[in-house]
Amino acid sequence: MGDFEPVSVGIVGASGYGGVQLVRLLLDHPNVDIVYLGGQGSAGKPFSDIYPHLEHRFKLEVEPVEVDRIADRCQVVFLSLPNGLAWTMAPALLEKGCKVLDLSADYRFFNLDTYQAWYGGDRTDGEVAASAVYGLPELYRDRIQEANLVGCPGCYPTASLLAVAPLLKQGLIAPETLVIDAKSGTSGGGRQAKTNLLLAEASSSISAYGVARHRHTPEIEQICSDLAGHEMMVQFTPHLVPMVRGILATVYATLRDPGLVREDLATIYNAFYRSSPWVKVLPSGVYPQTKWACGSNLNYIGIEVDPRTGRVIVMSVIDNLLKGQAGQALQAMNLMLGLEETAGLPTLGFYP
Amino acid sequence: MGDFEPVSVGIVGASGYGGVQLVRLLLDHPNVDIVYLGGQGSAGKPFSDIYPHLEHRFKLEVEPVEVDRIADRCQVVFLSLPNGLAWTMAPALLEKGCKVLDLSADYRFFNLDTYQAWYGGDRTDGEVAASAVYGLPELYRDRIQEANLVGCPGCYPTASLLAVAPLLKQGLIAPETLVIDAKSGTSGGGRQAKTNLLLAEASSSISAYGVARHRHTPEIEQICSDLAGHEMMVQFTPHLVPMVRGILATVYATLRDPGLVREDLATIYNAFYRSSPWVKVLPSGVYPQTKWACGSNLNYIGIEVDPRTGRVIVMSVIDNLLKGQAGQALQAMNLMLGLEETAGLPTLGFYP
Amino acid sequence: MGDFEPVSVGIVGASGYGGVQLVRLLLDHPNVDIVYLGGQGSAGKPFSDIYPHLEHRFKLEVEPVEVDRIADRCQVVFLSLPNGLAWTMAPALLEKGCKVLDLSADYRFFNLDTYQAWYGGDRTDGEVAASAVYGLPELYRDRIQEANLVGCPGCYPTASLLAVAPLLKQGLIAPETLVIDAKSGTSGGGRQAKTNLLLAEASSSISAYGVARHRHTPEIEQICSDLAGHEMMVQFTPHLVPMVRGILATVYATLRDPGLVREDLATIYNAFYRSSPWVKVLPSGVYPQTKWACGSNLNYIGIEVDPRTGRVIVMSVIDNLLKGQAGQALQAMNLMLGLEETAGLPTLGFYP
Amino acid sequence: MGDFEPVSVGIVGASGYGGVQLVRLLLDHPNVDIVYLGGQGSAGKPFSDIYPHLEHRFKLEVEPVEVDRIADRCQVVFLSLPNGLAWTMAPALLEKGCKVLDLSADYRFFNLDTYQAWYGGDRTDGEVAASAVYGLPELYRDRIQEANLVGCPGCYPTASLLAVAPLLKQGLIAPETLVIDAKSGTSGGGRQAKTNLLLAEASSSISAYGVARHRHTPEIEQICSDLAGHEMMVQFTPHLVPMVRGILATVYATLRDPGLVREDLATIYNAFYRSSPWVKVLPSGVYPQTKWACGSNLNYIGIEVDPRTGRVIVMSVIDNLLKGQAGQALQAMNLMLGLEETAGLPTLGFYP
């Protein structure tokens, strides 16, 4: 890869947390150049007006969001926009030869009906949507390598699906018993000012939200169903935790075979993730802290079996802004470009 | 109650968080006087050497822990000690006519075998233990009124049991589906210095601990079984949340009758807690934040039904140091003394 | 005071942190009834729509802000509005016989020119403004007792002025050496959504703001000058600290008499605050934590002298929402109504 | 540097925060290999028993601390021990040809009398101590390049000295007016369990400590005196802030020439730090947040002049564990080895 010509990369929607993480990661990636930053509200301003601490590394100006301007300059485009906007741009970018990675929900669904039932809107890009690949490399690595359009997973689905994939793929659990209790730092809510995300409100407190109706539910169910080989539902509850970054998904399910012990499952998980450099299965009795993953693209998984109840409890942690968002998008980009899956991605969290 | 002679109260183990909360609450209680503070390590020191901010209200000195000294002066004794110590003192105090409220696990169990299986030790106080009442007033109010010895519930059991009691009492859920995912601030771990409770470790992070083996499990199961009328097990997982105070228990269970809707359950909960001034059932779509309860003795309960999965999800919050510990002990003391259940207890949290 | 007829109290601007603290404190005050809540945006809604955790204690609805409606029902009115609004209402309320306590900056200045230089606006209420008393009871107790209009101090000025008042009054320091480095929790910024107050931004970080131009500077200077008996300036720098509540002011000044020792100053402070129940001067070597004050109306003061440099360092902590805002307003109200200065105010913080 | 043979590096005292940061940074450094980890308490255990999240990158075992064992294998040795231990090992390591970087206070002082007055002990290594260089590259770059023994600066001195160096070097301020009000995250207190560093104690609170007697005072004064060309004292007050990482030093001093404006000072600072890649002087009106620096080796400096008072206010932020400790030690190591000063060090913070 020594003589690799740097790939030209653009980011649309650069001013939010997704954007600034993409910038941070791409700046340290050995094979790419950021050549375009797009934003509606901040067009014309230097990026360092929004993030002064990056000025010494990055002097690009935010530009208007125009398809031609982007496609002329970029081989790869990251769309980091609110839900419902990416699909108005992605088809044109693809047509002009760009590879597109969308960080919103627009291209996460196999079926646009599901999207429209949970997100609304009136999509007219059915054919393009059908070509999109769900960007979770640990499950869809081969297809991502061939893709031109990737719908990057949500943060909660990433933590949740990596926790349950081996169980469902091997048919080890009763699907109707699956409960996912997930906990996220507040950066998952983005950088826009909302009262409930104020430090004075969200700090020193924890609460559930979106109970029985959070929009990551159908996304999790879609992939679980794909893994299980049949339609299934999950009970998913997100919680807001007083911390900036990190997601912990605590997953509960009843084992079909009550004779299975923790070591059996650890063996299965290690085999399942043998070729996945970003997933780390922890030894017996070690449970992951979100802090361990933060700052890296890693996913740590702890496994416990309760012989009294016959349940498996899986704990899965990620940095919601890296493996849950920008880092995972880069991981997918690496695959799309034929690079090492780990290229340019941090392997050490910033603990403590 | 205007001419009520103040009751003389003593606290053994006053230097921890349980002790300082008891002091704070008892100082503002209209019907009691604190006449004794006991501590092994801090005997001979003014209490305000440990907590300088209380000096203007409270000048008592910590004294050695000696049964005669205590019984001579106190009508009511709170034992706020590590597990395994209360049972070496309580029988003698009771014999000398004291009413005793124990904040440890020593007197929480109907059956000493369960205690010894989970906590160890070689108990010789079987008869006294058999006379103890489980100090959760919302479930055992009448018996607490008659009791001389109360084993005050753990913090997690309090939040969890108040969440599930109406469901189990009415037989509304399939008991084997019960999952309790609980989240606590770090003050639940006490004031002793432990590395995992350092701000630098516990802040900006969340993790599970004691998975499938936390010692509050048998306590929850004992009371659930009592409510359900048959032996049952629960899946209980505690988590450490980066905040000082507060517990949220998120409870999942499958409804036996899939036709039940949220309003049915709200009606049942409101009826169940009609005479319980400290439990507040929230309206539809409102989910409790721990912050709302902190600083008060209140328990807020939010209820949701997921018609897709047939599960009920109950969210229950308390201040772990008040309703989960010192406040609940005072509530029980009020009942033991024939006072109003609410006497001297804060009804407004300190939000934000 | 047993037969005191409850005083009718109204709050204009009830939906912010100042409002909700006033509600919380007034509900537990033995001598008042809240009879009116006013708000522009939330008129017509029950207050418990905004703060569901208070529903069990308080069912009032927010009403439109109309002077007649208020004056007809209220003997005392708290104005908890953004700067620049109180002065458009206060004169009419006073004329109709209400006692008015303003929590904004509008009535804090002896001289409207100073106000207009720092806050702008075109004030036409000069005579009314001249009748206002600066509502810091520890310095202006007698005048508050006679006042009908009180301009309640800012949070930073309260912590700062209580720290320096004895020094300036006794002429102990060189005025031009006075540096006040103040640190506040983010609730001081109010409940409105601002990006810089998001948990994801403000948590895990500290920074200065408003350096050399914060609008509490002229307020501090005005009272310092009054105490010193001559015009003087101060160096005041506020900082945003990742916590909800609390202010610490660390004050530096050079002693005029290098022979003064800590004990001399402690004696002077204790004498100065002899009749001030809310100020607590800490013993030698004890420095206040903001946490000690939070939840109470107390001000804790720690004093140190550096014999090497000849400076005194004073540390002063308050709860910015209580002694720094709503609690202090109640303290002033108590004085205006001839009640005990401590009536209805919490004397115990909620540590930890 | 392409054919550079990796340098063999050892760390003594690897289990604390200094140690784990050194490991993290050295693992990503292109020119070194970690070949030895020493610890007394944890000898014989894999490092990943202490820090399980690093297991995938680092499988070394902690070894006993023995000079021969270390010197045989290491060209460079980092000593990350409590104060008072390094000087018992460093002379022997130097004699055997190792380059030594000490992270404790042992080799920070030009004069052992000062060390002994503030730290105690009975030093017998005067000659070796005299050969040590103070490891702040921005001030002593040339001497570090020649050194075999470097005493790495304390965290507070680093933030403070970078803030004041240009002012003192140019004689711009009245030295006796210098006040440094510093704020630190709790990781500065290390990983050992102490009650005052518990989350339940330190969170939601701020307080000063060590007022007028913190042991970083003589270290700051020594370098300030060296810069000023004459003996001088400083007023230094540290504060404990509820966050994990980061230091902000807010510095106050009176300008000798009242005609100086902010732009003059910005020019002087930029010139002073022209060859210092880790110091970033911020533009007018931009004040640094600690969060910007965390995760990088950067120091951000904001400058303000108050024309009313004639004072300059300088705000300086660093990550206390990187530029304040392990990062700075690597920066010095780079210089000692003739590498680029920036080699292997992160230039992008992990904001948010």
Q: Which residues of A are catalytic?
A: 155
Q: Are D253 and D309 in contact (CB under 8 A)?
A: no
Strand order in the sheet with C207-208: C207-208, C235-240, C179-184, C247-254, C311-318, C299-306, C279-281
Contact between residue B100 and residue B148 where contact means Cβ atoms under 8 Å apart = yes
Of A52, A294, A300, the CB nearest to D282: A52
* Residue positions counted in chain C: 352
Q: What number of other Cβ atoms are within 10 A of residue C64's Cβ?
A: 11
* Distance from C-alpha of B116 to C-alpha of B113, rounded to nearest angstrom: 5
Decide if B294 touches A, using CB distance below 8 A: yes
Q: What's chain B's Rg over C-alpha atoms?
A: 20
Q: Report the pLDDT value the prediction gives residue D219, as an integer from 0 to 100.
A: 98
- pLDDT tens track for D64-73: 999 999 999 9
Report mean pLDDT in 10-residue bins for chain A, 352 residues: 80 94 97 96 94 95 97 98 96 98 98 96 95 98 98 98 98 98 97 96 98 98 98 98 98 97 98 98 98 98 98 98 98 98 96 94
Side-chain half-sphere CA neighbours of D334 within 13 A: 21
| Cis, bond preceding B352 (omega within 30 deg of 0) | yes
**Three-state DSSP state, B164:** helix
| Cα gap A123→A119, rounded to integer Å | 11
- Residue B319's closest chain A neighbor by CA? A205
A chain contacts of residue B294, beta-carbon cutoff 8 Å: 204-205
Q: Using CB atoms, which chains have 3+ pairs under 8 A with C?
A: A, B, D
As a whole number of angstroms, the distance between CA D119 and CA D122 comes to: 10
Nearest to D12 by CA among D94, D109, D95, D82: D82
Q: What is the pLDDT of residues C271-323, one digit of tens each?
A: 999 999 999 999 999 999 999 999 999 999 999 999 999 999 999 999 999 99
DSSP state of B244: S
C214 in reach of chain D (CB within 8 A): no
- Chain B, 31 to 70: residues with Cβ < 8 Å from chain D are none
Assess D347–B contact: CB distance below 8 Å, yes or no: no
Q: Give the mean pLDDT of D191-209.
A: 97
Tell me how far apart the alpha carbons of residues B98 and D290 are, in angstroms, rounded to a whole number.
55
What residues in A contact D348, CB-CB < 8 Å? 24, 27-28, 54, 57
A308 in contact with B at a CB cutoff of 8 Å?
yes
Residue C296: other Cβ atoms inside 10 A: 24
- Give the whole-angstrom CA distance, residue D112 versus residue D121: 10
Three-state secondary structure of C128-178: HHHHCEECCHHHHHHHHHHCCEEECCCHHHHHHHHHHHHHHHCCCECHHHC
Q: Average of pLDDT values for D78-84?
A: 96
Token pair recorded at residue B61: 């000195």
Question: Of the listed B152, B155, B224, B294, which one is catalytic?
Answer: B155
Which pLDDT does position A1 carry in this prediction? 45
Residues of chain B with C-beta less than 8 angstroms from the C-beta of C294: 350
Local confidence pLDDT in tens for the 352 residues of chain B: 455 689 999 999 999 999 999 999 999 999 999 999 999 889 999 999 999 999 999 999 999 999 999 999 999 999 999 999 999 999 999 999 999 999 999 999 999 999 999 999 899 999 999 999 999 999 999 999 999 999 999 999 999 999 999 999 999 999 999 999 999 999 999 999 999 999 999 999 999 999 999 999 999 999 999 999 999 999 999 999 999 999 999 999 999 999 999 999 999 999 999 999 999 999 999 999 999 999 999 999 999 999 999 999 999 999 999 999 999 999 999 999 999 999 999 999 999 9
Beta-ladder partners of B149: B100
How do residues D18-65 score in pLDDT, each as one tens digit? 999 999 999 999 999 999 999 988 999 999 999 999 999 999 999 999
Q: Which residues of chain C are modeled with pLDDT < 50? A: 1
Q: Tokens for B86?
A: 């209360």
Q: Is B322 exposed, middle or buried (0-12, 13-18, 19+ CB in 10 A)?
A: buried
Which residues in chain D are closer than 8 Å to A245, comparing Cβ atoms? 352
Coil, strand or helix: which one is C37?
Answer: strand
Residue C218 has phi, psi (to 5 degrees) of -65, -30
CB D319 within 8 A of CB D293: yes
ipTM of the complex, rounded to two decimals? 0.97
Cβ within 8 Å of residue A6, ≥6 positions away: A31, A32, A33
- pLDDT, position C209: 98
User: Cβ distance D84 to D74 under 8 Å?
Assistant: no
Shortest Cα distance from C176 to chain B (angstroms)?
A: 33
HEC assignment per residue over D104-169: CCCCCCCCHHHHHHHHCCCCCCHHHHHHCEECCHHHHHHHHHHCCEEECCCHHHHHHHHHHHHHHH
User: Taking a C-beta distance cutoff of 8 angstroms, is the pair C284, C267 a contact?
Assistant: no
- Chain D hits for A21, CB-CB cut-off 8 Å, are none
Confirm or reject contact between D304 and chain C (CB < 8 A): yes
D198/B203 Cβ within 8 A: no
In this structure, what are the phi and psi dihedrals at residue A167, rounded to the nearest 5 degrees? Answer: -65, -45
* Nearest CA among B323, B175, B185 for reference residue B251: B175
Question: Which structure tokens are listed for D128?
Answer: 């070796």
Put simply, the answer to whether B235 touches A306 (Cβ < 8 Å) is: yes
Task: Give the model's confidence band at D256: pLDDT under 50 very low, under 70 low, under 90 confident, else very high.
Answer: very high
Q: Give chain B's domains with CATH numbers.
A: 7-131 (3.40.50.720), 155-320 (3.30.360.10)
Pairwise CA distance, residues C310 & C259, whole Å: 8
Interface membership of B293 toward C (CB under 8 Å): yes
**One-letter identity of residue B64:** P
Cβ of A311 and B200 within 8 Å? no
Nearest-angstrom CA–CA distance, C346 and A31:
62
**pLDDT tens digit string along C205-219?**
999 999 999 999 999
pLDDT at B40: 86
Q: Which residues of D are catalytic?
A: 155
Residue type, C99: K
List the single residue in A203, A207, A248 with the smallest CB-CB distance to B207: A248
